[in-house]
Amino acid sequence: MIEGLNNHQKRLKRLFDLFFSFVGLLIFLVPIFILIILSTISTRKIGLYSQNRVGLAGLVFVMYKIRSMKTGESLNHITLSNDPRITRFGSFIRANNLDELPQLWNIFMGDMSFVGPRPDVPGYADKLIGKDRIVLSVRPGITGPATLKYRNEEKILSKEIDPLIYNDEIIWKDKIEINKHYIKKWSLRGDVNYILKTIFS
């Protein structure tokens, strides 16, 4: 594993995540429960969605979200803004990032961080080689510089003839470079700024 943050930085980042995820769970526990109920009604499936994602050191963990889609088959992991599986309620919570609230539990348990590279499905980050594997030296995050740059990713992909190829050849590679720079220049102040930008964007 390529060295990323030093031990002091790792402890500082983890303490920040642990404290604020605990506070967040206390504040948002009831809203999360309500969102799960509304999602269950909207999608006619259990409103809490889970999926395997690649995390720290390439290890797979279970990530939680509020379900935003009805049952349906997808040819790949790419989601477009005009995906017919997304319910009206699902579109609302995705637009306001409310579907991500259950990830406070992932952060509290140490699977994720508030800020970091977004956790990918197996077949992407876990396949990185060489210096690119520095991306796996930190916990994946709810937000970060790459997430903010591509906050309209679903709309961008919806305009492409082949969304999967555009994602793999353009967006994915750009995200890797952005995340490498984030890790090399990491600071707690920077993380706070990314969180604030996410809230107010």
Instruction: For residue range 3-56, list pLDDT tens digits in order.
Output: 789 999 999 999 999 999 999 999 999 999 999 999 999 999 999 999 999 999
pTM of the model: 0.91
- Give the ranges where the chain is alpha helix by DSSP (H): 7-43, 88-95, 103-108, 145-149, 153-158, 163-166, 172-184, 188-200
**What is the C-alpha separation between 168 and 124, in angstroms, rounded?**
9
- pLDDT score of 160: 86
CB atoms within 10 A of CB 53: 22
Residue the block writes with tokens 């999967």: 164
Q: What letter represents residue 37's amino acid?
A: I
Mean pLDDT of the chain: 92
Q: What are phi and psi of 60, to 5 degrees?
A: -85, 135
Check if the beta carbon of residue 116 is closer than 8 Å to that of residue 186.
no
Give the CA distances from residue 38 to residues 46, 99, 149, in Å, rounded to whole numbers and listed in that order.
10, 12, 30
pLDDT at 81: 61
Taking only the tens place, the pLDDT of each residue in 108-153 is: 999 999 999 999 999 899 999 999 999 999 999 999 999 999 988 8
Residue 75 has pLDDT above 50, yes or no: no
Q: 194 near 144, Cβ under 8 Å?
A: yes
Instruction: State yes or no: pLDDT of 73 exceeds 60.
Output: no
Distance (Å, whole) CA 23 – CA 16: 11
Average pLDDT over residues 50-77: 85
Q: What is the mean pLDDT of residues 140-167?
A: 91
Amino acid 2: pLDDT: 64
Cα(109)–Cα(183) distance, rounded to whole angstroms? 21
**CA dist list (Å): 93 to 30, 40, 52, 54:** 16, 13, 21, 24
Q: Is the pLDDT of residue 76 over 60?
A: no
Q: Is pLDDT above 90 for 174?
A: yes
